[in-house]
Structure formats: structure tokens, C-alpha cells
């Protein structure tokens, strides 16, 4: 942040020095609100705002879409692990399947609320680690049971990998500087007519107010969607809600 502020201060210094030099050598005064200085500044501020706004929208949108896909990949891996566990000896199969159901309940409940704060539940991690230990401890007396055990372990590895990606998604936000630039350039675009000396009156205030309202709404949108699991485009636990119903149906023989 210090480097950004220093760069901005240097740019302001360059403008002041350039204005002094041009005034000494040649050039004409430009005090008009619709003069070349105001026109050039307005165009560049608008372009800078649009650039920052586009990045602030596209990057979170892409991240949210990838995170939503990852939740379905994780839920699919859980479903496959549940079916693979049915090939284990009955007591072990029941224990692993019950553990998977409990893991899904933890993820879509307490853990999902924690992800809004960028954290994952340690209880869910402990449950997943416990399942891995239970499967490793299964005694396989023949090749068929060994294959079944390895299949469950492979699916648990997939679940763990998807969970790790979900943890990264929960902590991912756009750079704070990007949001700051979006807000500041939006303010500059709104205030530029006043800063350049114009005094809007009457009907001219209507389009200016409309533009300000739309800029404010767009800027708020960039802040609102900056976190994957909160805001207007937040990823919901739909994949785990549907999976929980499916696992309960399978467990009941449906």
C-alpha cells in the first residue's frame, strides 16, 4: 500500500512540474470546464474506472463459478466413496457410510457458515481423517476386499483434494487495492464536473445523479461479490444438500 501511495504522489508531482514548465515556455491557460484538460481527464478516468470495474467483476465471477463446480466434484467423490464402501465387510461398511453421512451434515451445516469467514471446520477435517484411518484398518483377507478398500481410499483422497480447494476458495478475495481503485475512480468520475469548475443546475443534475446512482450500485456489486461464500453470487451448499438426501435414501434401501 505504501508503494501505491508513493506512486500516486509521484504522479501528482509530475503533473505539477509539467504545468509549471509548460506555463513558462508556451501554451495557453485552460480554465474552462469543457476545455481540453477536463475532456482528457474525464476520458481517462472513465477508462480507468471501466478497467478496474471489469476486473473486479470478472475475477470474482470466475472464482465463484470454479468454486461451485468444485463443490459438485466433492459431492460426487463422496457419493462414489459411499457406494464403494458397500463392498467392505458389513460392520466396516456401515461405519464408513455413517461417517460419510456425518461428514456431509457437518459440511453443509456448521462448516458452510464458517466458510463465510474464510475458515473450515476442524471437526469436519477430523471426521475425514477418522474415516481414512478406519478404512486403512479394515482387514482384507483376499484381493476383492483389498480392491474395495483401495477404491474407498482413492475416493477419500479425491474428497480431501476437493476439500483443500474449497479451503483456498474460502480465503480467496480480489486484491484490496483493486477494490480501492474501483471506488476512488468511481468517485472521481462523479465529482469531476465539480472539480473542473462546472456548476450543474436544473435538468443537468438528472443525468449526473442517474450516473452517480448507477456507479454506486456497480461499485457496491464489486464489493458484494468479492467473497466466494457470501454476497449476491455466493456459492450455496446445494450440492451437499442434494447429496445428503441421496445418501439417506440409499441407506434406507430406496
pLDDT, tens digit, 9 for 90 and up, residues 63-98 = 999 999 999 999 999 999 999 999 998 889 999 999
Is residue 13 situated within a structural domain? no
pLDDT for position 22: 53
User: What's the domain range around 184?
Assistant: 42-251
Half-sphere exposure for 247 (CA within 13 Å, toward CB): 29
- Taking residues 235-250, report their average pLDDT: 89
Is residue 7 situated within a structural domain? no
pLDDT for position 188: 84
Q: Compute CA distances 238 → 104, 106, 167, 207, 230, whole Å.
A: 12, 14, 17, 42, 14
pLDDT for position 253: 62
pLDDT beyond 90 at 49: no
In this prediction, residue 127 has a pLDDT band, given cuts at 50, 70 and 90, of very high
Is residue 99 situated within a structural domain? yes
Taking the C-alpha atoms of residue 228 and residue 63, their distance in angstroms, rounded to an integer, is: 7
pLDDT for position 244: 87
Secondary structure letter of residue 203 according to DSSP: G
pLDDT beyond 60 at 27: no
If one counts the domains in the chain, the total is 1
pLDDT beyond 80 at 14: no
Residue 56 CB: number of other CB atoms within 10 A? 24
pLDDT, tens digit, 9 for 90 and up, residues 128-171 = 999 999 999 888 778 888 898 999 999 999 999 999 999 999 99
In this prediction, residue 30 has a pLDDT band, given cuts at 50, 70 and 90, of low
Is residue 77 situated within a structural domain? yes
pLDDT for position 2: 65
Q: Spell out the alpha helix ranges (H) of the chain.
A: 2-25, 36-85, 90-106, 112-115, 122-136, 143-171, 176-195, 205-224, 238-251
Q: Give ∠ CA 88-73-160 in degrees, rounded to 5.
A: 60
Q: Which range, of 23-27, 42-46, 208-212, averages the lowest pLDDT?
A: 23-27
pLDDT for position 23: 56
Taking the C-alpha atoms of residue 97 and residue 87, their distance in angstroms, rounded to an integer, is: 11
In this prediction, residue 173 has a pLDDT band, given cuts at 50, 70 and 90, of confident
Is residue 113 situated within a structural domain? yes
Is residue 14 situated within a structural domain? no
Taking the C-alpha atoms of residue 149 and residue 89, their distance in angstroms, rounded to an integer, is: 10
Q: Compute the CA torsion angle 156, 161, 167, 171 (nearest 10 deg).
A: -170
pLDDT, tens digit, 9 for 90 and up, residues 182-240 = 888 888 888 877 777 777 777 777 888 888 888 889 889 888 888 999 988 899 999 99
Is residue 21 situated within a structural domain? no
Q: Give ∠ CA 164-165-166 in degrees, rounded to 5.
A: 90
Secondary structure letter of residue 31 according to DSSP: -
Beta-carbon contacts of 37 under 8 Å, excluding residues fewer than 6 positions away, are 30, 196
pLDDT beyond 80 at 101: yes
Q: Compute CA distances 179 → 54, 96, 221, whole Å.
A: 11, 45, 11
Is residue 9 situated within a structural domain? no
pLDDT for position 28: 54
Q: Which of 94, 40, 54 is nearest to 251 (CA)?
A: 94
Amino acid at each position: 500500500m505504501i508503494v501505491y501511495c508513493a506512486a500516486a504522489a509521484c504522479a501528482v508531482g509530475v503533473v505539477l512540474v509539467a504545468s509549471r514548465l509548460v506555463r513558462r515556455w508556451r501554451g495557453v491557460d485552460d480554465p474552462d470546464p469543457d476545455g481540453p484538460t477536463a475532456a482528457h481527464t474525464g476520458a481517462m478516468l472513465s477508462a480507468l474506472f471501466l478497467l478496474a470495474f471489469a476486473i473486479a467483476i470478472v475475477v470474482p465471477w470466475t472464482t465463484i463459478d470454479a468454486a461451485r463446480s468444485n463443490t459438485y466434484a466433492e459431492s460426487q467423490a463422496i457419493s462414489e466413496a459411499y457406494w464403494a464402501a458397500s463392498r467392505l465387510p458389513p460392520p466396516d461398511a456401515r461405519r464408513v457410510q455413517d461417517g460419510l453421512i456425518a461428514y456431509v451434515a457437518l459440511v453443509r451445516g456448521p462448516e458452510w457458515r464458517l466458510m463465510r469467514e474464510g475458515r473450515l471446520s476442524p471437526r469436519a477435517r477430523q471426521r475425514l481423517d477418522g474415516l481414512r484411518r478406519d478404512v486403512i484398518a479394515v482387514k482384507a483377507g483376499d484381493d476383492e476386499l483389498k480392491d474395495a478398500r483401495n477404491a474407498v481410499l482413492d475416493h477419500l483422497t479425491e474428497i480431501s483434494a476437493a476439500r483443500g480447494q474449497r479451503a483456498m476458495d474460502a480465503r480467496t478475495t480480489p486484491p484490496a487495492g483493486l477494490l480501492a481503485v474501483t471506488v476512488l475512480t468511481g468517485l472521481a468520475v462523479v465529482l469531476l464536473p465539480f472539480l473542473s469548475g462546472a456548476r450543474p443546475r436544473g435538468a443537468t443534475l438528472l443525468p449526473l445523479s442517474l450516473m452517480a446512482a448507477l456507479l454506486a450500485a456497480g461499485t457496491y456489486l464489486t464489493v458484494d461479490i468479492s467473497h466466494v461464500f457470501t454476497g449476491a453470487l455466493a456459492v450455496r451448499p446445494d450440492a451437499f444438500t442434494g447429496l445428503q438426501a441421496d445418501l439417506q435414501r440409499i441407506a434406507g434401501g430406496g
